Structure 1
Amino acid sequence: MALHDIQTRLDAAVAEAGRAPGSVTLIAVSKVQPPERVEAVLTEGHRIFGENRVQEAQGRWPAFQARYDGIELHLIGPLQTNKARQAVEMFDAIHTLDRPKLATTLARLAQERGACPDLFIQVNTGEEPQKAGCLPAEADAFIAQARELDLPVTGVMCIPPVEEEASLHFALLAKIAERNGLDGLSMGMSSDFEKAVKFGATHVRVGSAIFGDRVYA
């Protein structure tokens, strides 16, 4: 099965980088995948999944959570402020905190609930206008702002431009994390997760290499 192959490759990359076994979390990105493919991965024992949209996750995961224990959900797509409440109730981690308004909303919800998912600051390392994420030059200040709001910022996240060498972006993200005392590095996808491991990734987000090509309506 593809999941086994990807986990084997991930374990090999971790070993080659001289890192501890199990130090990189594999997030199986199930967005727009048919339920039967998701269930096949669940039956193999994998429990950590990533979704891009709150609404899609709400339609998919409650039924699976009723049948399978220990599912951990990560939001890896842009989060609209008006979906923040649903997101904090459903997800264990949000990888796309990218602007002050969202930070303020999440802080208010955390106060209300007495709990908050783990948060990653999304950095637009390629400074692409069509992509979410704070600019690299603004990352330090935004991380400080989120911390002042008592938000549980555990790391940073990026999606490198497809036409550029990913390693340059992984190195930049790692530097931002290091100077801000953050351990979490959410970076690396199907085509480049082994490179990301070399630069310290703690979470890699792999979709099509596990599930097959996405099925869009």
Structure 2
Amino acid sequence: MEYDYSEDLKKRISDNIAAVRSSIDEAIAASGREKGSVTLIGVTKVFPVEYAESAAMSGLKDLGENRVQELVPKVERFSALDIDANWHLIGTLQKNKVKYIIGKTCLIHSVNSIELAEEISKRSVSNNVTTSILIQANVSGEESKHGFAPHELKPAIDKIMDMPSVQLCGLMTMAPIETYEGQAREVFAKTRVIFEDLKSYTGLDTWNVLSMGMSQDYKSAIYEGSTHIRIGTAIFGDRSQYKPL
């Protein structure tokens, strides 16, 4: 199959990626961190696959999806076109859909229950693969947010560490919609402290991913130690014209 895409679309996305990367580098420098210490994930949620293709062809190899039903066809399309990418599942994952993504992701960011981790482990064993995951932490305390409360993390991790074919790599969190300036950064700072404590607690060499920060708050996340930021709108534009699958 031949790769086909709009040159205008590719240029717009390429320019946006360059602008975001420049902003990331500025935030890294301002926070005294090492250049290249933040992974940019382009979130293609609801956007047509051509947007993901254009991003990949512009050098953005880490791509994220919120929904299994969107991730799977995009992964298959990339495979058919022999386009290289690392796919991240960043949205809520239902147990009954785990079977569709095993072996298709480099990292699942949103493990928010023991039952979900058990299903990932079971399916990974069946497929003879190891699946890398992040624990979703609800540090803001919002009822609308999924994830483990801070006091639930260590008991959950104790159980997950005993599960076969699952590799714990760190934490993911989402900041609240700010009701006052600096609220997101406060949540990120709290999450970083928890992340560092759990790194010592687990003793895992793989515990090195702190996924936090989106288009509206990624600079604050970088200042507070995020290693992976999840950017959609700032790269791909307004998604309101598209409907989810």
Which bin holds the TM-score, normalised by the shorter protein? over 0.9
Runs of 4 or more above 4 Å deviation: none
AA partner of residue 121 (structure 1):
I
**Could you tell me which of 143, 150, 163 is aligned with 1:136?**
150
- Cα distance in 1 for residues equivalent to 2:237 and 2:154: 37
**SS at structure 2 position matched to 1:95:** strand
Deviation at 1:199, TM superposition (A): 1.0
Taking only the aligned residue pairs, the percentage that are identical comes to 35
Aligned-residue CA RMSD (Å): 1.5
- Tell me the residue number matched to 2:29: 15
AA partner of residue 177 (structure 2):
V
- Tell me the residue number matched to 1:200: 225
**SS at structure 2 position matched to 1:180:** helix
Whether 1:94 and 2:115 are equivalent positions in the alignment is no
Kept after mapping to 2: 8 A contact 1:139/1:176: no
Kept after mapping to 2: 8 A contact 1:187/1:205: yes
Q: Which moved more, 1:168-177 or 1:65-74?
A: 65-74
TM normalised by structure 1 equals 0.94
Kept after mapping to 2: 8 A contact 1:186/1:201: yes
- Tell me the residue number matched to 1:173: 191
Deviation at 1:43, TM superposition (A): 2.1
Listed one character per residue, the Cα deviations across residues 50-81 of structure 1 (whole Å, up to 9, x for unaligned) are: 00011111122311232244210000001100
Structure 1, unpaired ranges of 5+: none
Listed one character per residue, the Cα deviations across residues 91-115 of structure 1 (whole Å, up to 9, x for unaligned) are: 1100001101111111222322332
Which structure has the larger Rg over C-alpha atoms?
2
TM normalised by structure 2 equals 0.84
- Cα distance in 2 for residues equivalent to 1:85 and 1:67: 24
- Cα distance in 2 for residues equivalent to 1:20 and 1:69: 29
- Tell me the residue number matched to 2:235: 210
Kept after mapping to 1: 8 A contact 2:215/2:233: yes
Deviation at 1:7, TM superposition (A): 0.8
- Tell me the residue number matched to 1:85: 99
- Tell me the residue number matched to 2:123: 109
Q: Assess, with a 3 A threshold, how the Cα gap between structure 1 residues 36 and 114 changes in structure 2: closer, same or farther.
A: closer
What is the aligned length? 217
